[in-house]
Amino acid sequence: MKASIQQLQVVNSFAQLPSAFYTRVPPQPLTQPRLLHANPDVAQLLGLSKAALTQDDFLQVMSGAQPLPGGDTLAAVYSGHQFGVWAGQLGDGRAHLLGEIVGPAGHWELQLKGSGRTPYSRMGDGRAVLRSSVREYLASEAMVGLGIPTTRALALVVSDDPVYRETVETAAIVARVSPSFVRFGSFEHWSSSPDNLRALLDYVIDHFYPECRIIEDGAPATPNSAALRFVRSVTIKTAQLLANWQTVGFCHGVMNTDNMSILGLTIDYGPYGFMDGFQANHVCNHSDHQGRYAWNAQPSVAHWNLYRLASSLLGLDIDAEALKAELAHFEPAFLQTYQGNLCKKMGLLHWQPDDASLVDDWWALLHGQRADFTLSFRELANAPQHAQAFIDSFNDQAAASAWLDRYMLRLQQEGRPEPERIAQMNSANPLYILRNHLAEAAIQAAAKGDSGEIDTLLKLLRHPYVEQPGYEAYSARAPEWACQLEVSCSS
Ligand code: AMP
Ligand code: MG
pLDDT at 484: 66
Nearest CA to ligand 1 atom 16: 124
30 within domain boundaries? yes
Among the candidates 148, 181, 214, a domain finishes at 181
Please check whether residues 161 and 205 belong to one and the same domain.
no
Tens digit of each residue's pLDDT (9 = 90 or more) over 214-230: 977 778 899 999 999 99
Please check whether residues 344 and 394 belong to one and the same domain.
yes
Give 100-153 as a DSSP string. EEEETTEEEEEEEES----TT-TT--S-EEHHHHHHHHHHHHHHHHHT--B-EE
478 within domain boundaries? no
116 within domain boundaries? yes
What's at 481, amino acid-wise?
W
Please check whether residues 287 and 413 belong to one and the same domain.
no
Residue (of 149, 299, 315) closest to 227 by Cα position: 315
Please check whether residues 41 and 109 belong to one and the same domain.
yes
445 within domain boundaries? no
| Global pTM value | 0.98
CB 109 within 8 A of CB 151: no
Looking from the CA of residue 95, the nearest atom of ligand 1 is 12
- Pick the catalytic residue from 72, 258, 276, 372: 258
Please check whether residues 170 and 199 belong to one and the same domain.
no
Among the candidates 181, 203, 234, a domain finishes at 181
Radius of gyration of the chain measured on its C-alpha atoms = 23
CB 297 within 8 A of CB 239: no
Please check whether residues 174 and 219 belong to one and the same domain.
no
275 within domain boundaries? no
What is the domain range of residue 89?
5-181
List of the chain residues with pLDDT < 50: none
CA angle 15–202–82, rounded 5-degree value:
75
Q: Which of 77, 79, 122, 183 to mutate to test the pocket of ligand 1 (most atoms within 8 A of CB)?
A: 122
The ligand placed nearest to the CA atom of residue 87 is 1
pLDDT at 491: 83
Q: Round to the nearest angstrom and report the end-to-end CA distance of the chain.
A: 35
Ligand 1 centroid to 441 CA: how many Å?
A: 25
Distance separating alpha carbons of residues 1 and 254, to the nearest angstrom? 38
Distance separating alpha carbons of residues 282 and 297, to the nearest angstrom? 9
Looking from the CA of residue 127, the nearest atom of ligand 1 is 19
Ligand 1 centroid to 93 CA: how many Å?
A: 5
Element (H, E) at 270: none
Please check whether residues 203 and 289 belong to one and the same domain.
yes
352 within domain boundaries? yes
351 within domain boundaries? yes
Please check whether residues 216 and 158 belong to one and the same domain.
no
486 within domain boundaries? no
Tens digit of each residue's pLDDT (9 = 90 or more) over 20-71: 999 999 999 999 999 999 999 999 999 999 999 999 999 999 999 999 999 9
Please check whether residues 21 and 137 belong to one and the same domain.
yes
How many domains does the chain contain in total? 3
Element (H, E) at 252: none
Q: Which residues of 281-291 are buried (b: 16+ CB within 10 A; e: fewer)?
A: ebbbbeebeee
Distance separating alpha carbons of residues 119 and 24, to the nearest angstrom? 10
Please check whether residues 243 and 165 belong to one and the same domain.
no
Among the candidates 127, 157, 181, a domain finishes at 181
Nearest CA to ligand 1 atom 6: 90
Please check whether residues 301 and 420 belong to one and the same domain.
no
pLDDT at 1: 65
pLDDT at 49: 96
Please check whether residues 70 and 56 belong to one and the same domain.
yes
Give catalytic status of residue 161 as yes or no.
Answer: no
Which residues, at least 6 apart from 158, have a Cβ–Cβ distance to it below 8 Å? 30, 33, 34, 36, 130, 133, 170, 171, 172, 446, 449
